[in-house]
Homo-oligomer: A and B are copies of this chain.
Amino acid sequence: MGTMADVARKTYGQFCGLAHALDVVGERWTLLIVRELGTGPKRYTDLADALTGIGTSLLATRVRQLETDGVIQRRLAVGQPGSAVVYELSEAGRELALALIPLATWGARHQMTDADIGREAFRAEWLLSFLAADLTGDTDPGPDAVYEFHIGDSSACLQVRGGRMRVAPGPAATPPDVTVRAAAPTVAALLGRQLTLSDAVRSDQVDISGDAAATDALVALIESHLALS
């Protein structure tokens, strides 16, 4: 008789785009799964690890539902060590991830204070996705380069290539052009405008090293991000 999981999902029952979107991605954890997959395919345990508190059972349910709704796809990764199955966004899922950027920006501007950073989980790629999203389109991203960030004990990298920015979790695959190091509270102070980037660099709270031209471009990018956020 199967698992009997389809007992008619609860919907808002409204002929409205927002209501239909929320019928699919409005439950707890669902949009955070989409966010996680926004920086590339991930395995089940990667998701479980990033989403502290979700519990294996609920994660399995959410992932299954997102798959049947066509937002994500299950795929058998090729040639990788360890187990093979990864989840990745479908085309619709990638569009959804883009549609979330304004919401995330709103949350960062109105609901996120630097006081939170001490108590909360933190991943460098969460901030970088942000910076990248904010700057895509309106700003010159500078020359092609790979920037590697180490914020607290989390690292992520930002690749600029042909005028487009891309974020990936973890250290860069190839040696980065620029490496940035900072403590999480320092980043919080920057975001909260208690500290300027130039002051942080001068006082060694932020260390930026590598190719000079790329460094200058990165500083300009970050400063324009801070200016408009």
Contacts and interface: CB of A to CB of B under 8 A. Distances in A.
Contacts of A137: none
A105 B32 contact: no
B18 A103 contact: yes
Interface of A: prevailing SS: helix
A12 B127 CA distance: 16
Given A28-B26, A98-B102, A13 B119 contact: yes
A28 to B, nearest CB: 7
Interface in A113-145: 116-117, 119-123, 126-127, 130
Given A18-B31, A24-B107, A70-B110, A52 B13 contact: yes
A67 interface: no
A115 to B, nearest CB: 10
A35 interface: yes
A182 to B, nearest CB: 14
Given A17-B105, A70-B110, A95-B106, 8 more contacts: A14-B123, A15-B116, A16-B112, A18-B103, A21-B106, A23-B107, A26-B31, A100-B103
